[in-house]
Amino acid sequence: MTVLQIIQPDNPLLRRQALRVSDFGDEFQTLVDDMTDTMIEAEGVGLAGPQVARSLRVIIARLPDNDESREAYGEDAGLLYVLANPRVVWRSEETADGVEGCLSLPGLLGEVERRESIEIAGQDRWGTPTRLTVEGWLARVFQHEMDHLDGILFIDIATRVWRPDAAEALASDVTEA
């Protein structure tokens, strides 16, 4: 497997709407594996196809798998989610502000309001239709990644963006996706 280059906003592909996944064959399976390796190597919790210069509507997400995460997120900790062609089919009225970062925007954090819970319809890595209902931090990760599929970066919708000092970056509960 391969660690892919994560592109930054100077690459116009990051700002384009991604194309629908229609072929779930070997090339797509390799992409999903490579995206997973890339996300883990970069210590992120999510990654979208456009972030690795692939204009495909595919996202992956994986919350950390450590004692603290298992206590906070239960069975979601460490579980890898792969969704192709995801779309939100339901969203809660409740929202929450949270701090987000992005693997494509290293060194920046932002305060972003997101829906607290969402239901997503899409396809798994083999093309089988699937639906997920997620809440809290995992819902934030999915919404962040799905924005990438439409060329939206968290800095576009943040109420505040800043460069953290080293202590803040280590101490904060940040979604790095």
Residues designated catalytic: 145
Q: 54: which residues sit within 8 A by CB, 6+ positions away? A: 31
Q: CA end-to-end span of the chain, whole Å?
A: 20
Burial class (CB within 10 angstroms; exposed 0-12, middle 13-18, buried 19+) of 27: exposed
- Given a contact cutoff of 8 angstroms between Cβ atoms, the answer to whether 49 and 36 are in contact is no
- Smallest CA-to-CA distance from 61 within 157, 148, 145, 161 is with 145
Count Cβ neighbours within 10 Å for each residue of 115-136 and write b for 16 or more, e otherwise.
bebbebebbebeeeebebebeb
